[in-house]
Amino acid sequence: ETGVTQTPRHLVMGMTNKKSLKCEQHLGHNAMYWYKQSAKKPLELMFVYNFKEQTENNSVPSRFSPECPNSSHLFLHLHTLQPEDSALYLCASSQDSASGGAGQYFGAGTRLSVL
């Protein structure tokens, strides 16, 4: 248990659906991250939030919409996704965005399938 909880663990959605992924951290951290891992591809950073402010958007399509209402919660709102968006979505947190990779704690991920 890393202190970062993601729900749901698995999600199947159609291309016209709207769904949200949730991430919650109980570590008192101030930075939160969304990563995507597609099959046979490396983990890719999508978004970074530091003290609730988005500090990084790695050229992510607008059909992915992040929300960070407070330092403990991070959401990824999904709408009109494509089958190629099927992937494992991982959330991470760190003390702040300058903590570097060693300070990032990951959740177990949400396995998303888009039909």
Partner 1 sequence: DQQVKQNSPSLSVQEGRISILNCDYTNSMFDYFLWYKKYPAEGPTFLISISSIKDKNEDGRFTVFLNKSAKHLSLHIVPSQPGDSAVYFCAASAKTGANNLFFGTGTRLTVIP
Which residues make up the interface to partner 1 (CB under 8 A)? Answer: 2, 4, 31, 33, 40-45, 48, 56, 58, 90, 92, 94, 97-109
**How long, in residues, is the chain?**
115
Q: Do 33 and 45 meet the contact criterion of CB atoms below 8 Å apart? A: yes
- Using the minimum distance from each CB to partner 1, give the nearer residue, 16 or 98: 98
What's the one-letter identity of residue 67? E
DSSP states of 24-65? EE-S--SEEEEEEE-TTS--EEEEEEETTEEEEE-S--TTEE
Residues 34 and 5: their CA atoms lie apart, in Å, by 13
At closest approach, how far in Å is the CB of 2 from partner 1? 6
- Using the minimum distance from each CB to partner 1, give the nearer residue, 17 or 24: 24
Residues 55 and 62: their CA atoms lie apart, in Å, by 16
